[in-house]
Every structure is written in C-alpha cells, then in structure tokens.
Amino acid sequence: VKGLVHHMLNLVLTESAIELVPSDLWKHPAVMKRSRLIGKNPGQMLLDRSYHHGAMLQIKDGRKRGRPDIAHFCLLNALGAPLNLEGGLRTSVHTREDKLIMVSPETRLPRNYDRYIGLIEQLYSHGKVPAKGKTLLEIRSETLSEHIRDIDASRIVALSRAGAKSTIQEVVEMVAAEPNPLFLIGGFPAGGFSSQTTGLADDIFSIYHETLDASIVVARVIYEYEKTMGLSSSCLTSHVR
C-alpha cells in the first residue's frame, strides 16, 4: 500500500555530465596520477573535473563535462524526498553520451562521494548494480527521445534559463492533472540544453533569473508536486501507510 499517491512524477536529469575518461586522455599526467592513486585503469574511471582538470582543458565542451557530483546531489535530494519514499517518483539519469541510468526508488545511494563514484564506475563496468539480488541501478544506451517513449510521459516540461518566466508553483500546478508528467532538469554545470533536448519538450520554463544548482531545482519541483498533490498533509496521519 503506497498511501494516497495516484499519479507519478518523472524526473530525468538530462545531458548529465557523467562519462568514463575518454581514451585520448588516458595518457594525460593528471589522469595517470589519479589512476595510480586509486588503482583503476583510466578507461574504468569517471571523468571528474576535481581530479582531471588539467586534462579537461583540451577537450571539446569541457565546461559541460566531468561533473558526476551534480547527479549525486540531485539523486540524494530526490531519493530522500517523501514523494519518493511514498512511491510517487521515478528518477533517471540521461548522460550527454546517451547513456541512460535507471534508478530504483529504493536505492540508498552512498553519501560518501568516493563510494558513489565507485558505484557508478562499477555500473559502467557491469551494466547493473548490485551484482547479485534486486537491481538498484541499471545502465543502457538510450537516447532521451527513446527514454521519453519508454516513460510514456503525458507532458514534458524542461526547466531552463532560456524558457518562459514562471514560478515552480505555477509550473507544477499546470501539470497537476497529468497522469504521468515528466520534468527534464539539466545535469550539467553550465550552458543550456541542446536543441535536440528542447525539441522534445512540450514547454520550457525558467524559474529564476540566474542559473540555479540542479539539485536545488530537483528539491523544489518534488516538494511543490507533493504540496499540489496534497501529500504533505495527508502523509502526516499514520493510517496512510
């Protein structure tokens, strides 16, 4: 029994800055140093600006890449939210290389960053984690467009500074009647969505006059959705669960 939640909110962290170190950086000193330190081959390591900044200066679109911490903060804000605990949220991570990470709502993600990175690296190696038992994270090659078809979203809203000005409350109230709304939130540190992404959205809204951290946007969309659906008051009574 999952309480009073009838509808499902879908969140896709979009074009997220998660990828393995690309092969042309494997010989870079910054990458080799980190590789020796943690005892992993460069090709099994996630690209990470904290550790590979020197190596990333030379790559294309560098400022939008190598930030797996963004998805970490977003996922912690999503998975720990009452909406998720009550079974009303589906979260996934789309990467700029069109990998798709399915995240089970029951996942208890490591809080420690190095352990989180280790888990995602294990996911890239094995396709799913944990190796045994119920799968919590699964990765596959899938475009955002294919993923949206899988979700069968009834309305797709992208949040971006380039969108029409609105408030989160107005945006969420607009989709409240939808059985299966989907929010696209950018999982990258700078710049905007690609035109491919914005082309998939029914609406694009800007909820603040400056760039906000993706994790803060995630927290607000979920909370506002809970309020609009009446979850924040209903779940206080113990008979709900």
- Provide the binding-site residues for its own copies, judged by CB under 8 A: 50, 67, 69-70, 73, 76-77, 80-82, 85, 111-115, 165-169, 208-210, 212-213, 215-216, 219-220, 223, 227, 232-233, 235-236, 238, 241
Question: From CA 16, how far away is CA 201, in angstroms rounded?
Answer: 17
Comparing CB distances to its own copies, the nearer of 195 and 209 is 209
Q: How far is the CB of 190 from its own copies (least distance, A)?
A: 13
* Angle, helices 68-79/113-126, rounded to nearest 10 degrees: 100
Q: How far apart are CA 141 and CA 101, in angstroms?
A: 9
d(CA 230, CA 224): 10
Tokens of residue 214, six digits: 């993706």
Q: Provide the minimum distance between the beta carbon of 195 and its own copies in the complex, in angstroms, as a whole number.
A: 25
CB nearer its own copies, residue 184 or residue 207 = 207
- Residue number, 148 or 159, with CB nearest to its own copies: 159
Residue 195 or 233: the one with the smaller Cβ distance to its own copies is 233
Least distance in Å: CB of 49 to its own copies? 8
**Between 148 and 219, CB nearer to its own copies:** 219
In the complex, minimum distance from the CB of residue 15 to its own copies, in angstroms, rounded to a whole number:
18
Smallest separation (angstroms) from its own copies to the CB of 86: 10
3-class state of residue 100 by DSSP: strand
Rounded-to-integer distance, Cα 72 and Cα 111, Å = 8
Question: Which of 211-214's residues contact partners 24+ apart within 8 Å by CB, and which partners?
Answer: 211/161, 213/70, 213/73, 214/13, 214/70, 214/73, 214/74, 214/185, 214/186, 214/187, 214/188
Looking at beta carbons only, is 27 or 53 nearer to its own copies? 53
Phi, psi torsion values for 156, nearest 5 degrees = -115, 115
Tell me the closest approach of the beta carbon of residue 222 to its own copies, in angstroms.
9
Is the CB of 59 or the CB of 168 nearer to its own copies? 168
CB 214 within 8 A of CB 42: no
- Smallest separation, CB 124 to its own copies (Å): 20
